[in-house]
Structure 1
Amino acid sequence: MTDDRWLSVDEIATHLGVKRDTIYKWIERKNMPAHKVGRLWKFRKDEVDNWVRTNTDNTDRSKEG
């Protein structure tokens, strides 16, 4: 059984090992797959994992700040 629940910004940041501010920047600047639910951003882990695999430059942590 797969875990198909929606993840929060904090959960996806922890999953990727980055700061939550980085997640917001990636949504805005790099088309990170995210879904707005009311005022909250939600994520599908499989969509984000695929995005990371196909956009290797998106995870350059030296450019986080």
Structure 2
Amino acid sequence: MNVEKWSTLKEVQAYLGVGRETILTWIAKRNMPAYKVGRLWKFKLSEVDDWIRSGGAADDKNDDKNED
């Protein structure tokens, strides 16, 4: 059985070519699949790929908009 390894925030940054703050914003505001393990964020790249394909990282959402 092939078990997918957990990826770190830095690995996901390199994989997607985006910055740390972008990923943290996506986790907080766009439900990016991520798991907190202690103080660290961990990711499964297959889940990140599926999230991107479903439009999770699309630019049509306004993260700066205050929705309170």
Shared fold per TM-score greater than 0.5: yes
Per-residue CA deviations over 1:9-58 (Å, capped at 9, x if unaligned) read 110011011011110000001000001101110000000000000015x1
User: 1:59 and 1:18 mapped to 2: Cα distance?
Assistant: 13
Structure 2: state its 5+ residue gaps: 63-68
Count of residues in correspondence between the two structures:
61
Percent identity, please: 48
Structure 1: state its 5+ residue gaps: none
User: 2:4 and 2:38 mapped to 1: Cα distance?
Assistant: 20
Deviation >3 Å, runs of 4+:
none
User: 1:17 and 1:3 mapped to 2: Cα distance?
Assistant: 25
Residue in 2 that maps onto 1:40: 40
Aligned CA distance change for structure 1 residues 28 and 53 (closer, same or farther; 3 Å): same
Task: Give the secondary structure class of the aligned counterpart of 2:7.
Answer: coil
TM-score by structure 1 length?
0.81
1:54 aligns with 2:32: no
Kindly indicate which of the two structures has a greater share of residues assigned to helix: 1
C-alpha RMSD over aligned residues:
2.3
When Rg is computed on C-alpha atoms for both structures, the one with the higher figure is 2
